């Protein structure tokens, strides 16, 4: 809902997921999204995600994910991309949820 936009809730949720993935031993996080919508790929880019060149990350899982999205018809709404962020040691404030 627009009334809840621009309050940092989405960023906080993504950062929390990134912290959990890092604490679980993962080195990176990959997602798929729409390339051309101004509130998707740019949003993730601000959080440290960069577009993945086909085949550069995820291997067969990413290929299966994209095939599944295509089967669902998601591509009819616009081009989709994969994005990846390297996960690193969070700062002390990030560990405490600040």
pTM greater than the 0.85 cutoff: no
- For the segment 52-78, what is each residue's pLDDT rounded down to a tens digit? 876 555 567 888 888 899 999 999 998
Write out the two tokens for 18: 């990134």
- CA distances (Å), origin 50, targets 2, 6, 90: 26, 22, 19
- pLDDT greater than 50 at residue 97: no
CA 73 to CA 2: how far, in whole Å?
Answer: 26
Q: What is the pLDDT of residue 96?
A: 46
- Give yes or no for a contact between 87 and 26, defined as CB atoms under 8 angstroms apart: yes
pLDDT, residue 65, reads 87
Q: What is the largest CA-CA distance in the chain?
A: 43
Asked if 41 and 85 touch (Cβ cutoff 8 Å), the reply is: no
Asked if the model's pLDDT at residue 49 lies above 90, the reply is: yes
- Tokens 């999204």 identify what position? 33
pLDDT in tens, 15-48: 999 999 999 999 999 999 998 888 888 899 999 9
The kind and range of the H/E element at 74 are none
Q: Looking at residue 40, what is its pLDDT?
A: 87
pLDDT at position 98 = 44
Residue 18 neighbours by CB distance under 10 Å: 22
């Amino acid at each position: 809902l627009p009334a809840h936009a621009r309050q940092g809730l989405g960023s906080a949720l993504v950062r929390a997921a990134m912290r959990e993935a890092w604490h679980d031993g993962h080195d990176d996080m990959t997602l798929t999204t729409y390339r051309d919508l101004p509130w998707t790929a740019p949003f993730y880019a601000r959080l440290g995600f960069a577009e993945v060149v086909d085949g550069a990350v995820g291997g067969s899982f990413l290929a299966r994910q994209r095939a599944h999205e295509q089967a669902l018809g998601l591509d009819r709404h616009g081009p989709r991309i994969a994005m990846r962020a390297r996960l690193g040691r969070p700062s002390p404030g990030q560990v405490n949820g600040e």
